[in-house]
């Protein structure tokens, strides 16, 4: 009898979310990063929000200020990684050609290898 009570007690703790992992399973509740939309990291002298959004969409960005891969532009036999890198780099180069500058973090080696941080 006692074993079944303990078993049910332990089972109820794990099923209510107060047991394994508990509150921390969703991340640190005290950490509040300053997350901005990707479009807000691209700036240009004398730009307006409307002109930036128009250029953003013309370069392949989405109207909501984010960027997604257009599967229709994938070449036959192209791997997912090559496809993603090609579209991202084309987008970044287009934004740079239209006079925008990326103001995000370029400190990591990976970011330094991207066109938006100065790589060819």
53 vs 67: CA distance, rounded Å:
12
Domain with 46, as residue range(s), is 38-117
Cβ 115 vs Cβ 93: under 8 Å = yes
- 12 belongs to a structural domain: no
Q: Tally Cβ neighbours within 10 Å of residue 54.
A: 13
Instruction: Determine, yes or no, domain membership for 28.
Output: no
**In this predicted structure, what is the pLDDT of residue 43?**
96
Within a domain: 89: yes
Enter the pTM of the model.
Answer: 0.69
pLDDT tens, per residue, the chain with 120 residues: 777 777 777 766 666 654 455 555 556 656 666 778 899 999 999 999 999 999 999 999 999 999 898 889 999 999 999 999 999 999 999 999 999 999 999 999 999 999 999 988
Residues making up the chain, counted from first to last: 120
Query: Is 75 within a domain?
Result: yes
Domain count, the chain: 1
* Measured CA distances, 41 to 17, 33, 37, 56, 119 (Å): 38, 15, 8, 12, 17
End-to-end CA distance of the chain: 71
Q: Is residue 47 part of a domain?
A: yes
3-state secondary structure of 18: coil
């Amino acid at each position: 009898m006692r074993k079944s009570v303990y078993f049910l007690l332990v089972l109820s703790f794990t099923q209510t979310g107060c047991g394994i992992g508990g509150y921390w399973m969703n991340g640190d509740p005290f950490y509040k990063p300053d997350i901005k939309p990707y479009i807000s990291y691209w700036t240009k002298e004398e730009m307006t929000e409307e002109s930036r959004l128009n250029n953003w969409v013309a370069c392949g960005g989405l109207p909501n200020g984010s960027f997604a891969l257009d599967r229709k532009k994938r070449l036959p036999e192209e791997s997912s990684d090559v496809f993603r890198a090609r579209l991202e780099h084309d987008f970044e180069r287009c934004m740079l050609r239209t006079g925008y500058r990326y103001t995000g973090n370029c400190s990591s080696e990976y970011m330094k290898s991207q066109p938006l941080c100065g790589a060819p």
